[in-house]
Amino acid sequence: MTDSNPFPRVMSPAPRWPVGGLLMLVLLACVVLWPAQARAQITAAARPGATPAWDKGMIPINAESYYHAIACGKQGGDDPPCVFWDTGICRNGDFTLTFYSGYKQVAYEVWTAVRNKRPAPQPSYQSAQRTRVTLGVTPVKGSTNAFTDLVLTRGGTVVPNLGRSVSGGGGQFTFDYPAWAPTSRVTLELVGRTKTVSCVIPPEVLQQFR
């Protein structure tokens, strides 16, 4: 019996990728996937319930902010939001942030005394005026993303720090107050060995910094 198909059946050969082309595909996949693996972006959220209310952001100590900070510290309690307003700022699975400013210096000193049943002190106004903003970075328990650096930008421009120290998986970075002015958003790049955490702080959140 003869086959009714006049054309012989020919099996198509399996496609073969040139070695160079296959390598280019692998490299392209790495380029596409790498940013998603190496960067996490979050938006900062202000801690609710902080009284007395404050909307001027972190500024050098003046008469208004000095007495405002004293009133804040006099509230006492275990965890007053006006003293520890930075709790949970830029919350992520790798790094915890803690801010220290002239306002916090005054409020914390008063709060510590009140919490220990002592009269509220009159903290040094001059010392608070000399205090700049220091941002501390500590690793979250269990994180394997070792911290290496912090970069602060405003409007795409890097703001230079006044001092930095990186050790023990964390670091401290000091800036002047204009770096945190609530006139435009701030971006913090928390650089780790395996991933960078990018935290955007909108102006309305910066207004609640103290």
Residue 9: per-residue pLDDT: 38
Distance CA 130, CA 136 (A): 18
Q: Is residue 113 packed enough to be buried (19+ CB in 10 Å), middle (13-18) or exposed (0-12)? A: middle
Residue 168: per-residue pLDDT: 86
pLDDT in tens, 88-109: 999 999 999 999 999 999 999 9
Residue 40: per-residue pLDDT: 84
Distance CA 139, CA 84 (A): 18
**Per-domain boundaries in the chain:** 40-206
Residue 163: per-residue pLDDT: 96
